[in-house]
Amino acid sequence: MRDKPNGDHRDYRPTPMPGVYERGPVGQPYWSARYTDADGKRANERFDTYEDACAFKARMKNEVERRTHRRPEHITFKAYAEAWPDRYRGRTTTGLRDASRERYRTQINVAATFLAGRSGRRPLAAVAPEHIEGYVDHLYATGRTPTTVRRYMVPLKAMLSQAVREGRIKSNPATGVPLLPSDMTLLPETTDDEADIKALSSEQMAALIEAVPATQRLLVATIARTGLRISEALGLRWCDVDRQEGVVRVRQSVVGGRIGKPKTARSRRSVPVADDLMRDLLARRLASRHSRDEDLVFGSRSGKPVDTSSCYRWLRPAAAAVGAPWAGFHALRHGAASAWFRAGYPVTVVSKLLGHSTATFTLSVYIHALAEDMPDGEALRKAVGL
């Protein structure tokens, strides 16, 4: 970058790029890009870096000359990103689930922190493809896998597409941006997210149940023995625990401390529960101050929904203590599914117990569990009889 000139912080200090000026205190400058729009009106945009200001100035000049210019909206990327999750309706007739909206909010907040610039005042219209490429690199540099990067880009692309439809920006700067890092050394050793989710053995699950705080053991045991998602377990109400049928029914979930619908239509299901686990659940109800049918089985002390993130505060130390620091709640679900496969249950049954959309998806996720039980060549020859 060029040397910073001296001068009064109130001045517009010229730079080598015509129409781009340095402003602010000499030690902490910002840059201002001036241009004349297609209607002959003078406009001015602020940038954190000289390079961003020059790129914007060049782009505006080109658009005005080609008569494709539309005056950018004076809204910052951060302000638009903070309001967008509540306004987004989704792309299907079923709309956007509460859980998906909360996930998008979290992911967009990560994008806003990076793309808003040092001052947080980068205009929405000033975000360019090179900024999006930098964001992709940032996601990899902070340990995200390719699958996770794609997931983070989904709401960002949707948000920018909506900004285009609303006339706030001319085009979507995320369109066509590669979803691989510019430096391939940033790629993790494994690019398979499912491979990262290991299945706990029955012995490890038993040890983990003993290692967590006593007040949390029933929650962990319920997930380990039913294969419920943590969001589904936290969403269980007492009316969903059916003693006569011997099942727990998944009818809602809790994500981000908020009650919402299950992940998919197939997620609404009934899962059989063993007698001893059912007795433990009923004993918990008798001891609970929140035992009405509509109360949560695993709610907080005040009966409110529990945020999943707070559960990891006690799960992570317990997992590390039993030699499985990588284990999360999903590892319990994987452990249950793998055990069911080893017990000989067909994929259609396991798929229904897990609430997957199709048996094909279940098979693709848990193929590792089946591979462990593959026969050798000699056994296959004897089965054929040749």
Pair 44, 168 in one domain: no
Domain that holds residue 295: 197-371
Mean pLDDT (the chain) is 85
Pair 148, 282 in one domain: no
State the pLDDT confidence band at 249, using cuts at 50, 70 and 90.
Answer: very high
State the pLDDT confidence band at 73, using cuts at 50, 70 and 90.
Answer: low
Pair 93, 167 in one domain: yes
Task: Tell me whether residue 8 is in a domain.
Answer: no
CATH at 215: 1.10.443.10
pLDDT value, residue 26: 79
Pair 130, 160 in one domain: yes
Structure tokens of 247? Answer: 């099942």
Q: Which residues of 73-89 are buried (b: 16+ CB within 10 A; e: fewer)?
A: eeebbbebbeebbeebe
Average pLDDT over residues 261-289: 92
pLDDT value, residue 287: 95
Task: Tell me whether residue 126 is in a domain.
Answer: yes
pLDDT, tens digit, 9 for 90 and up, residues 187-199:
664 433 434 457 7
Cβ atoms of residues 102 and 258 within 8 Å: yes
Task: Tell me whether residue 1 is in a domain.
Answer: no
Cβ atoms of residues 223 and 230 within 8 Å: yes
| 265 or 378, higher pLDDT | 265
Pair 144, 169 in one domain: yes
Pair 204, 293 in one domain: yes
> By percentage, how much of the chain surpasses pLDDT 90?
46
Average pLDDT over residues 289-302: 95
Q: What are phi and psi of 24, to 5 degrees?
A: 85, 180
Give which of 1, 5, 44, 43 is closest to 24, Cα–Cα.
5
State the pLDDT confidence band at 377, using cuts at 50, 70 and 90.
Answer: low
Task: Tell me whether residue 7 is in a domain.
Answer: no
Task: Tell me whether residue 381 is in a domain.
Answer: no
pLDDT, tens digit, 9 for 90 and up, residues 28-37:
888 888 888 7
* CA–CA distance, 76 with 127 (Å, rounded to integer): 10
Domain count, the chain: 3
> Pairing mode, if any, of strands 241-242 and 42-47?
unpaired
Pair 277, 366 in one domain: yes
Q: Which residues of 284-297 are buried (b: 16+ CB within 10 A; e: fewer)?
A: beeeeebeeeeebb
* CA–CA distance, 140 with 111 (Å, rounded to integer): 13
Give which of 161, 155, 179, 173 is closest to 105, Cα–Cα.
155
**14-19 contacts at long range (C-beta below 8 A, 24 or more positions apart):** 15/50, 17/50, 17/53, 17/54, 17/57, 19/57, 19/61
Average pLDDT over residues 100-126: 90
Task: Tell me whether residue 317 is in a domain.
Answer: yes
* CA–CA distance, 45 with 58 (Å, rounded to integer): 13
* CA–CA distance, 358 with 362 (Å, rounded to integer): 7
State the pLDDT confidence band at 161, using cuts at 50, 70 and 90.
Answer: very high
pLDDT score of 134 more than 50: yes
Pair 95, 157 in one domain: yes
**307-311 contacts at long range (C-beta below 8 A, 24 or more positions apart):** 307/256, 307/257, 308/230, 308/231, 308/234, 308/254, 308/255, 308/256, 311/216, 311/219, 311/230, 311/234
pLDDT value, residue 380: 65
pLDDT value, residue 264: 79
- Domain boundary among the residues 192, 224, 250 is at 192
- Roughly how many angstroms between the first and final C-alpha of the chain, as a whole number? 76
- Domain boundary among the residues 140, 164, 192 is at 192
pLDDT score of 1 more than 60: no
Pair 367, 307 in one domain: yes
* CA–CA distance, 260 with 89 (Å, rounded to integer): 16
Pair 250, 156 in one domain: no
Pair 263, 345 in one domain: yes
Task: Tell me whether residue 280 is in a domain.
Answer: yes
What SS3 state is found at 376?
A: coil
Task: Tell me whether residue 307 is in a domain.
Answer: yes
CATH at 149: 1.10.150
* CA–CA distance, 66 with 63 (Å, rounded to integer): 5
> Pairing mode, if any, of strands 241-242 and 258-260?
unpaired
The most confident of 16-25, 26-35, 67-76, 209-218, by mean pLDDT:
209-218
Pair 51, 106 in one domain: no
